[in-house]
Amino acid sequence: MTITSQAPARVDLSGGTLDIWPLYLFHENSQTVNFAIDCYARCRVSSKEGGRRDGRIEVVSRDLKRGETFASFDELLRVARAKKLKLPLPALLIRAFAPHLNAKQGLTLEMESGVPAGSGLGGSSALNIAICGALARFTGKKFAPGKLIEIARNVESQVLGVPAGEQDYYSAMFGGLQAIHLTPHGIEPEKLPVAADEMNARFVLCYTGQSRQSGINNWEVEKAYIDGRRDVVRHFARIAAIAAEMRLALIEHDWRAVARLAGADWAARKKAWPGITTEQIDRLIDIAKSNGARAGKACGAGGGGCIAFLVDPEAKGRVAAALTAARAQILPARVAPRGLQVLTEK
């Protein structure tokens, strides 16, 4: 049996970092706003025809050109306990699903990210959801989307060694343009009534070529907040208010307000933690604005990775050309209306 799956990455518009527990509990009406893009993480889980009998677990990353093999589930558990995994995310996910897997059968898990490493597009979380979807189907048991998200978030926190945010899993699971409401009663995703073509006409996405580590940036910000730094707390209150306004602007199709709020979100985030921006990010945003972009902001935790620009439709080509001339890599992304997709091949 072979299971294939795919899940989309995302672009965050506002409310990023607020989605890390427990930060969102300290603000009224906390939410993040993002949209899934057609840059897909993919996973393939298979056993030999008729079922593997050697019990081996094989994990392969196609884009990293790296792999590791375990003689059995027991060996995987021993290596995981010793913290010597070469590919910790898929191995720890296999461990999480182990109670539902046939330990004698074994499996091969192949995976591939759809975005550059450290892009700020939630690539690791999209890969996480793709793997969870494939492993869940492989077990033959039904898992609710919320349960898969819970497993994905908990395992990613184990890999990072710091708390993981919420927003990336929801865009990967459900796709489309969403406001993800962060409440004391749980996370409540809301699909926003905006046509994909409207959004596609108004954003440009580029990769700076610089990778970044979201776990480090987000953890530094969270520590500063929990330690009670008044400036950080104040900036996060501003970020929460901007995200609520962003949701309303999108519902009302007020694209000038959307761009203004994206710029305000970026300004607040830079004040909250200076390491979020770099000289290169600032330079590319200035270039894009001088060629007609209304706003630009680094994706995810910043410090490198990708930048998303809000533009008027007539300026999109001009902005993309200027960024290309500045040696940024344009990612030809579009809104992905669907999230996780899983197929079974027998």
pLDDT digits (tens, 9 = 90+) for 265-312: 999 888 877 778 889 999 999 999 999 999 999 998 778 899 999 999
pLDDT class of 48 with cuts at 50, 70, 90: low
Give the mean pLDDT of 55-61: 93
The predicted pLDDT at position 143 comes to 95
Residue from 246, 129, 130 nearest 180 by CA: 246
pLDDT digits (tens, 9 = 90+) for 103-116: 778 899 999 998 98
The residue that leads in pLDDT, 212 or 235, is 235
> pLDDT grade, residue 214 (50/70/90)?
low
pLDDT of 224 higher than 50:
yes
Q: What is the pLDDT of residue 50?
A: 47
pTM of the model: 0.94
Please say if the pLDDT value at position 145 is more than 80.
yes
> Which residues, including other chains, have CB under 8 Å from residue 295's CB and lie 6 or more apart?
259, 260, 262, 263, 266, 289, 309, 310
Contact call for residues 241 and 299 (beta carbons, < 8 A): no
Residue 51 confidence class, pLDDT cut points 50, 70, 90: very low
pLDDT at 215: 52
> Hey, how many other C-beta atoms are within 10 angstroms of the C-beta on 113?
22
Summary mean pLDDT of the chain: 92
Q: Regarding predicted confidence, which is higher, 219 or 239?
A: 239
pLDDT in tens, 84-136: 999 999 999 999 998 888 877 889 999 999 898 889 999 999 999 999 999 99
Residue 155 has pLDDT above 50, yes or no: yes
Mean pLDDT along residues 243-263: 97
Q: Can you give the chain as a three-state secondary structure string?
A: CEEEEEEEEEEEEECCCCCECCHHHHCCCCEEEEEEEEEEEEEEEECCCCCCCCCCEEEEECCCCEEEEECCHHHHHHHHHCCCCCCHHHHHHHHHHHHHCCCCCCEEEEEECCCCCCCCCCHHHHHHHHHHHHHHHHHCCCCCHHHHHHHHHHHHHHHHCCCCECHHHHHHHHCCEEEEEEECCEEEEEECCCCHHHHHCCEEEEECCCCCCHHHHHHHHHHHHHCCCHHHHHHHHHHHHHHHHHHHHHHCCCHHHHHHHHHHHHHHHHHHCHHHCCHHHHHHHHHHHHCCEEEEEECCCCCCCEEEEEECHHHHHHHHHHHHHCCCEECCCCECCCCCEEEEEC
Domains of the chain: 2-191+336-345 (3.30.230.10), 196-330 (3.30.70.890)
Mean pLDDT of the region 146-175: 94
pLDDT confidence tier of residue 345, bands split at 50, 70 and 90: confident
Half-sphere exposure of 67 (CA within 13 A, CB side): 14
Q: What percent of the chain lies above the pLDDT cut of 70?
A: 96
How do residues 15-39 score in pLDDT, each as one tens digit?
988 899 999 999 999 999 999 999 9
Mean pLDDT is lowest, of 24-33, 35-44, 53-62, 245-254, for 53-62
How large is the average pLDDT for residues 184-202?
96
